[in-house]
Structure 1
Amino acid sequence: MPVLIDNRQEKIKVDEAVEGFAAQVVEKVLAYEECEDDFEVSISFVDNEEMRRLNKEYRGIDKETDVLSFPLVEFAEEELEKEEEDADYIEEEIALGDIVISMEKALEQSKEHGHSFKRELAFLLVHGMLHLLGYDHDEGASEGEMFDKQEEILKKLNLTR
């Protein structure tokens, strides 16, 4: 399960340990959701300036945000199950989508919430992955489900508040 990482910022150090941790979080989310397909996920680390530009371009909101997700696969749940059955012959990865994280914003929020940068980064990665898997928090019931899943996955990573 490839996790492709593109560090496009220089304000927060991104080394092999950070990249390995990001891949571990992605794998934990996929395991939690019992995804058996071989997915490819792309993660870009950016600064606040680039995040603001992306947020304006794709969401029409002219301010930085912490995480953006760009799903490449959109299936209804029953369609996804059928696709998984039909895709048994596929040997290559399925590009699930892209996650963009503002490392500056992640650091700011970790300080605001009084927890580690590692926990904040994991939270943003889990949040982004759940969006790639079709979860949304703009709707009442699904918002609670999404946030509950985030906390459960963070517990499995031993990253509680």
Structure 2
Amino acid sequence: MGVELYVEDYFYELSLTNSVNLGETYARITPETWENWFNNWLEILQADIPPAPGYEIGLRLTDDSQIQELNAQYRQQNKPTDVLAFAALEVDFPHSEEMLASVPLYLGDIIVSVDTAQRQAQQQRHSLITEMAWLTAHGLLHLLGWDHPDEESLERMLEQQVKLLKAIGIAIDKE
């Protein structure tokens, strides 16, 4: 099992604010890092995924104005948001067993606003990389059918996100 990840990085460098050192540093989450994270996460979430020889995911890192356009177009909410997920598994698309055995299964697309992620990272007093991982894990869970229409399901989803981040070496305490 592997993941084919298509990363569209709107920002070449992400500005990070470190909660310990309040100076600005610059870093970039490489496509290889994203791919490793997704491979780890998909291994953990295997029970939630139809079996396939591999998986495809689109990841787009964008800004508030672009995510606001998408949020207005697809969710009728004309405001920026932190993450959007467009799940391919929700679409009625015929999947033959032969096809599933020979090609990667397309799970969908995750779009993250780096602008919003940066504000949230500062509010939570953790790094932008931590917030980006948090939001992307949240988006992945949505691609796999997880949702949070009530407090109880939100709590389960947040617990799963904490597990996913811990698996890639990021400790987080979300309330």
TM tier, smaller: 0.7 to 0.9
Q: Distance in 1 between matches of 2:155 and 2:120?
A: 21
Give the equivalent residue in structure 1 for 2:116: 105
* Residue 90 of structure 2 corresponds to residue 74 of structure 1: yes
**Contact 2:5/2:57 (<8 A) preserved:** yes
Q: TM-score, normalised by structure 2?
A: 0.77
**Contact 1:127/1:150 (<8 A) preserved:** yes
Q: Distance in 2 between matches of 1:21 and 1:89?
A: 26
Q: 5+ unaligned residues in a row in structure 1: which ranges? A: 76-82
Give the equivalent residue in structure 2 for 1:12: 14
**Displacement of 1:87:** 5.1
Which one of the candidate residues 100, 105, 127 is aligned to 1:94?
Answer: 105
Q: Distance in 1 between matches of 2:9 and 2:44?
A: 26
Q: Distance in 2 between matches of 1:5 and 1:115?
A: 23
Which of the two has greater strand per residue?
Answer: 2
Does the C-alpha gap of structure 1 residues 72 and 92 become closer, same or farther in structure 2, counting only changes over 3 Å?
A: same
Over residues 122-143 of structure 1, what are the superposed CA-to-partner deviations in whole Å (9 max), with x where a residue is unaligned?
0011000000000001134322
Query: For 1:115-126, what aligned pairs fall within 5 Å after superposition?
Result: 115-126=126-137
**Displacement of 1:144:** 2.0
Q: TM-score, normalised by structure 1?
A: 0.83
Q: CA RMSD in A?
A: 2.5
Q: Distance in 2 between matches of 1:27 and 1:61?
A: 32
For structure 1, which segment, 92-101 or 32-41, has the greater mean C-alpha deviation from structure 2 after superposition?
A: 32-41
Does the C-alpha gap of structure 1 residues 20 and 10 become closer, same or farther in structure 2, counting only changes over 3 Å?
A: closer
Residue identity opposite 2:42 in structure 1: L
Pairs aligned (count): 153
Q: 5+ unaligned residues in a row in structure 2: which ranges? A: 16-25
Give the equivalent residue in structure 1 for 2:73: 57
Overall identity of the aligned pairs, in %: 26
**Displacement of 1:105:** 1.1
Q: Distance in 2 between matches of 1:17 and 1:141?
A: 32
Runs of 4+ in 1 over 3 A off after TM superposition: 8-17, 86-89
Which of the two has greater helix per residue?
Answer: 1
